[in-house]
Structure 1
Amino acid sequence: MEKQRISYVPTGVCSKMFVIDAEGGRIKNLQVIGGCEGNLRGLSTLLIDMKIEDAIKKLEGIDCHEKGTSCPDQIAKALRQFSVS
């Protein structure tokens, strides 16, 4: 199983960057720079070892303050960059 890492700069949210590690189609680590520390640290903990496809389904489309996106939605967009076998 190949380890993968992406860095993603989100748009329309308070967070400045996501660094995500994955292996075998599962999230192994999510580091969020900027944003609401407690909420995003909790979200990061919940996503560890989750299948990438499952995380995308759960997070995609979540809106924050009628911005049309949110940190969870942006994490889903970041996760789409992984090549999942």
Structure 2
Amino acid sequence: MTQEFTYRPKMVCSTEITFELDNENKIHNLRFRGGCNGNLKAIGRLVEGQEASKVSEILRGNTCGPRPTSCADQLSKAIDQALAEKIA
């Protein structure tokens, strides 16, 4: 069984991040709305089936140009929020 999560990123080009977490907290079906299409599809392929907390740890703090964040960094925030919601 999987649970779907949606996150609205801030200060980046993408406007929505959606993904599923399975019972083992592995990421599936990651989708970004907006942003750099090719790069974000590549991130989706790279994280498919990976353990969520590990993905968050790797992507956290990544920046995009002069911005203090990036779509990857926002994904880490989305994952952290999803994991917290799942526990609650």
What SS does structure 2 have at the residue aligned with 1:80? helix
Unaligned runs of 5+ in 2: none
Unaligned runs of 5+ in 1: none
Q: Map 1:2-81; keep pairs closer than 5 Å.
A: 2-23=1-22, 24-81=24-81
Using the size of structure 1 for normalisation, the TM-score is: 0.92
Structure 1, residues 8-34: CA drift from partner, whole Å, max 9, x if none? 000000001011111021001101100
Structure 1, residues 14-61: CA drift from partner, whole Å, max 9, x if none? 001011111021001101100000000001100000100110111000
Using the size of structure 2 for normalisation, the TM-score is: 0.89
| Contact map agreement 1:4 1:82 (CA 8 A) in 2 | no
Instruction: Provide the aligned length of Structure 1 versus Structure 2.
Output: 84
* Identity in percent: 32
Amino acid at match of 1:11: K
CA RMSD of aligned residues (A): 1.3
- In 2, the alpha carbon distance for the partners of 1:15 and 1:35 equals 4
- In 1, the alpha carbon distance for the partners of 2:80 and 2:4 equals 12
